[in-house]
């Protein structure tokens, strides 16, 4: 491997070359001067190198390196930067920069609160695997080793790539986490990596070059069943379930989340050993929920959880003051709109014209004369990306229009057979039956009637009714009067056949009859 401690001494502005060997990348630099001067230069130039040059290198390395990454997230409990005299900055999590989403990586402590996992990144020597490290949640000491993947194959140059996180020889050193969650102390990475500082206080550079590795004291995950990203936004006025789990926390306190009742009361379960939940009902807008949990030693972790909510769907609510009105009159139509495009509301159906959008609007239906009148209002969506279709609503206004129907179930019947006469009228004040000569229907008991449905059986010939009709043709007429001078007339024609037993003697021969 063509790499040396001299090459690895950092000058961030003077990249020599990028050398690939055994699917690993080595970025060679010129030597620099004093440690503080190098750190100052690194602090100012690091973002430039990371954001301009290394984005392309990172993307390439991501695909050629033969392992899978632990993806960064809020449960990645190790964040921040460490510093080596020889190899410069070591990033513990992609959240330190803007690479999450492009290349996601991070070092974490698993739910057992002991086992460490994941990868850190050095722009000089590449990926550093922390899966052989452990964390003591009581003492705060991080022990074990981290493995520089570029040094795994030590047969080529004798470098094993191991960074020792604690040891007692030749003298005692370690990395430990204080109550403020900042790691302190040193790790040793042989001649290639050298001493790795986990806190600026080790070299008294805080204030000049501030850095530290932050290690959260216990496991804490705070999430929801929806709405955690824009792409997964919760539907307006739907419910969302907040979920949290800890390992080592003793209490949790809620805040934020306005205007929901999330923080009332503020005391929440610690979510240990089983997941705790809280349902937010009918959420209407984006908001950020905050949950602060602490352990028995008083160490706190604060999690913020933004929840994204879709805008309300376009909606129209319509009502009418009177759904049944006299013919030729009007009624008041009321409507309210939500999330519609301003000036886009148009009436159709039994009314027309542009209508004003907004809450508590009203207008006249206009004079109506049809029996059924559907008044429709359509408005374009105010958020066409989320809701491309317009909103539509309608109300039905019935006009008190006089209607009349008169029917016979059988219009031609044999002698002595019955039939049924039916009539239906709406909005009738009076209805007068007539056969054209009187005020009653022949063969019925109906007199002057009002608005109703009615049926009566009519008998022919020798039927059971005392008013059975003889053979012939009969016209039944009904005239109804309604409001506003309305009048309707309907008729039905009935034919009754001759009596088949009727006979007439012809001549003197009693045996000859005409049927």
Question: Torsion angle of alpha carbons 381, 383, 384, 385, nearest 10°?
Answer: -160
- pLDDT for residue 368 is more than 50: yes
Cis bond upstream, residue 255 (ω within 30):
no
Q: What is the pLDDT of residues 424-473, one digit of tens each?
A: 988 888 888 876 444 467 666 666 666 678 888 888 876 555 567 888 88
Q: Which fold has domain 315-400?
A: Immunoglobulin-like (2.60.40)
The third-level CATH classification (topology) of the domain covering 219-307 is Immunoglobulin-like (2.60.40)
Tens of pLDDT, residues 208-221: 999 999 998 888 99
Query: How long a stretch of residues is the chain?
Result: 515
Q: Report the alpha-carbon distance of residue 11 to residue 35 in Å, rounded.
A: 11
Nearest to residue 24, comparing CAs of 44, 52, 1? 1
Q: Residue 8: left if φ>0, alpha if ψ -120 to 50, beta else—which one? A: alpha
Stretch among 231-240, 307-316, 474-483 having the lowest mean pLDDT: 474-483
- Give the integer Cα–Cα distance in Å for 493 and 441: 12
Please state, as a whole number, how many other Cβ atoms lie within 10 Å of the Cβ of residue 336. 16
CATH 2.60.40.10 domain position(s) in the chain: 219-307, 315-400, 403-496
List, for residues 11-23, the tens digit of each pLDDT value: 332 333 333 333 3
How many degrees, rounded to 5, is the angle at CA 111 between CA 248 and CA 180?
Answer: 50
* pLDDT of 4 strictly over 80: no
**Hey, what are 12's tokens?**
């961030």
Please name the residues in contact with 59: beta carbons below 8 A apart, sequence gap of 6 or more: 102, 103
CATH 3.50.50.60 fits 403-496, yes or no: no
Three-class SS of residue 211?
A: coil
Query: How would you class 488 by CB atoms within 10 Å of its CB: exposed for 0-12, middle for 13-18, buried for 19 or more?
Result: buried
Tell me the average pLDDT across 34-63: 40
Asked if pLDDT for residue 325 goes beyond 60, the answer is yes
Give the contacts of 357 (CB within 8 A, at least 6 positions apart).
337, 340, 341, 342, 343, 344, 345, 379
């Amino acid at each position: 491997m063509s790499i040396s401690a001299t090459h690895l001494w950092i000058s961030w502005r003077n990249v020599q070359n990028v050398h690939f060997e055994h699917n690993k990348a080595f970025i060679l630099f010129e030597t620099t001067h004093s440690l503080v001067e190098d750190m100052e230069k690194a602090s100012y130039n690091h973002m430039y190198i990371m954001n301009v040059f290394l984005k392309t290198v990172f993307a390439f390395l991501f695909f050629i390196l033969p392992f899978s990454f632990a993806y960064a997230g809020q449960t990645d409990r190790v964040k921040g930067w460490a510093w080596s005299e020889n190899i410069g900055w070591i990033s513990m999590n992609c959240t330190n920069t803007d690479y999450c989403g492009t290349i996601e990586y991070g070092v974490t402590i698993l739910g057992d609160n002991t086992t460490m996992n994941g990868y850190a990144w050095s722009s000089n020597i590449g990926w550093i695997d922390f899966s052989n490290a452990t964390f003591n949640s009581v003492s705060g000491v991080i022990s074990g080793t981290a493995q520089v993947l570029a040094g795994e194959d030590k047969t080529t140059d004798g470098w094993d790539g191991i960074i020792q996180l604690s040891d007692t020889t030749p003298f005692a050193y370690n990395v430990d986490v204080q109550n403020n969650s900042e790691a302190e102390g040193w790790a040793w990475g042989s001649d290639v990596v050298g001493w790795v500082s986990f806190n600026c206080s080790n070299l008294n550079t805080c204030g000049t070059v501030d850095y530290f590795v932050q290690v959260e004291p216990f496991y804490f995950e705070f999430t929801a069943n929806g709405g955690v990203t824009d792409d997964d936004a919760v539907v307006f006025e739907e419910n969302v379930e907040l979920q949290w789990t800890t390992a080592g926390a003793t209490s949790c306190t809620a805040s934020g989340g306005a205007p929901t009742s999330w923080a009332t009361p503020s005391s929440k379960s610690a979510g240990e050993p089983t997941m705790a939940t809280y349902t937010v009902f009918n959420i209407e807008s984006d908001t950020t929920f905050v949950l602060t949990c602490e352990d028995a030693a008083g160490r706190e972790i604060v999690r913020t959880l933004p929840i994204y909510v879709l805008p309300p769907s376009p909606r129209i609510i319509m009502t009418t003051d009177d759904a049944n009105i006299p013919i030729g009159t009007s009624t008041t139509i009321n409507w309210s709109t939500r999330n519609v495009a301003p000036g886009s509301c148009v009436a159709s159906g039994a009314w027309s014209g542009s209508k004003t959008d907004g809450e508590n609007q009203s207008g006249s239906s206009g004079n109506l004369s049809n029996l059924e009148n559907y008044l429709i209002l359509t408005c374009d969506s105010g958020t066409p990306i989320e809701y491309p279709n317009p909103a539509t609503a309608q109300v039905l206004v019935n006009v008190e229009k006089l209607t009349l129907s008169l029917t016979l179930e059988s219009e031609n019947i044999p002698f002595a057979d019955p039939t049924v006469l039916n009539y239906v009228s709406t909005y009738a004040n009076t209805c007068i039956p007539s056969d054209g000569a009187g005020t009653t229907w022949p063969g019925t008991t109906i007199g002057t009637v009002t608005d109703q449905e009615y049926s009566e059986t009519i008998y022919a010939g020798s039927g059971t009714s005392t008013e059975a009709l003889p053979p012939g043709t009969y016209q039944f007429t009904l005239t109804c009067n309604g409001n506003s001078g309305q009048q309707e007339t309907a008729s039905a024609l009935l034919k009754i056949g001759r009596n088949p037993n009727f006979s007439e003697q012809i001549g003197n021969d009693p045996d000859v009859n005409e049927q």
